[in-house]
Amino acid sequence: MSAGLVVVGDALLDRDVVGNVDRLAPDAPVPVLDEVEQRVRPGGAALAAALAASDGRSVTLITALADDEAGRTLRAAIEDAGVELVALELSGTTPEKIRFRHDGRSLIRVDRGGGELAAPAPVAARAAIGWAPAVLVSDYGRGLAAEPGLRRALTALPRSHAAVWDPHPRGPAPPPASTMVTPNDAELSRQVAEPRGSGPEETAERARALRTRWEARAVCVTRGADGALLVDGDAAPLCVPAPDIAAGDPCGAGDRFASRLAGVLADGGSAADGVTEAVAAASEFVGAGGAGAASAALRPRPESPAPPDAYAVVARTRRREGIVVATGGCFDLLHPGHVRTLQAARRLGDCLVVCLNGDASVRRLKGPGRPLVPELDRAAVLEALGCVDAVRIFQEDTPEKVLGEIRPDIWAKGGDYSEADLPEACVVRRWGGRTVILPYLAGRSTTQLIEDAGIRD
């Protein structure tokens, strides 16, 4: 499973106005674009985050948004891409990058919007930086990378965390000891004067100088169609060529490169592996049409089917004149004893509904250290069993209320109980139901598992 990633940086709303051009304007020698459609997508750091999420990662984006139409559209696009958003308040307007395009080419680009942070980064934003094994700072020169609280949190990251810094000419230098800094050729030239020649040896020399100045562990210079050059410690420079691409759109290629590189480092890969994969991913991205063509890939993934509704399952069974069976419990750390009991309960009728103690209920019954597994995760595991038709979570100490709603024909309990021990047995008798005690599998219990593993409640 892919490791998580935190992205910090300036988000933009990208708009492509796509149309056809077949004439010039009568009042000036400029093309007239007949608009066909508009496409919107996350841009800037938000594009890097969305691309990382499209790789199957859990991604948190820390950025700033204004409360305006562009900000609301951008927020929705970020969330639709499957990215968790930690949004700071932006004064002014949300930045937008608008491209007017015909036949796969841009005719003109218009930038608008912008502002400053309305307040210092809150604790939640600073705390979010360290949750994943890697952080990507995607600096678009609009101030977020220089915010003091976020910068302190980035500087304080342990060395075990990978920190990738994608710089901008208007942005600050990265914190010392950053794992990887990824300037492009132009950004490198702004930092280190270009000597005679611009081949790999000269680029490596300037990359070493920048690594020393910024105290970075490694510097990777992205070189467009020429691939990338990595300077990592005392090792010889690594040149990674880019595959030949017949045509394409380079918009967003840097974000594709940085997000894939950060992802490989998050997974524990080496710097060389990360750069190699990132060059291949960026090249493929450009060849496929760049950010404009990536919009479809950034759409929400199809959601998993909703879990079965207990009441719908019961109603469907009753329409078939079937027998409704219910059972209940905490099911914290599901073990073979649970599974055998559930299988036996299901064989008693035509559907099985599990009444699951919610987290608050479990804490009252078992103590403050329980449950070990949250209620939604426990429910998901139960729903995955072939013998379980539906799960109904309740927060009371006992399931009398939910049983009164479901009204099962059989209430099944596993363990060393008698019917007299179960207060819900008399509830079930009200509508003619009966209680069945199923065999107890000795030596199988959550408590025993906890004790054997040395876990303290």
Alpha helix (H) ranges present in 13-158?
45-54, 69-80, 123-128, 148-155
Domain formed by 5-298, architecture: 3-Layer(aba) Sandwich (3.40)
What is the pTM (predicted TM-score) of this model? 0.64
Cβ atoms 219, 210 nearer than 8 A: yes
Identify whether 350 is a catalytic site residue.
Answer: no
Is the pLDDT at 94 greater than 70, yes or no? yes
Compute the distance between CA of residue 318 and CA of residue 336 in angstroms, rounded to an integer.
30
The pLDDT value recorded for residue 14 is 93
pLDDT digits (tens, 9 = 90+) for 208-218: 999 999 999 99
Compute the distance between CA of residue 222 and CA of residue 142 in angstroms, rounded to an integer.
22
Is the pLDDT at 291 greater than 90, yes or no? no
pLDDT digits (tens, 9 = 90+) for 441-455: 554 554 554 454 444
pLDDT digits (tens, 9 = 90+) for 16-31: 999 999 999 999 999 9
Cα–Cα distances (Å) from 71 to 97, 192, 283, in that order, read 13, 36, 30
Least-confidence region, from 79-93, 320-334, 360-374: 360-374
Q: How far from each other are the two terminal CA atoms of the chain, in whole angstroms?
A: 29
Compute the distance between CA of residue 162 and CA of residue 182 in angstroms, rounded to an integer.
13
* DSSP notation for 49-89: HHHHHHTT--EEEEEEE-SSHHHHHHHHHHHHTT-EEEEEE
What percent of the residues of the chain are helix, what percent strand, and what percent coil, each to the nearest 5? Answer: 35, 25, 35
> Average pLDDT of the chain?
87
- Sequence spans of domains, the chain: 5-298, 310-453
Exactly one of 10, 255, 389, 409 is catalytic; name it.
255
pLDDT digits (tens, 9 = 90+) for 378-410: 998 999 898 999 999 998 988 999 999 899 999
Is 310-453 the same fold as 5-298?
no
Is residue 297 helix, strand or coil?
helix
The pLDDT value recorded for residue 450 is 47
CATH level 3 topology of 310-453: Rossmann fold (3.40.50)
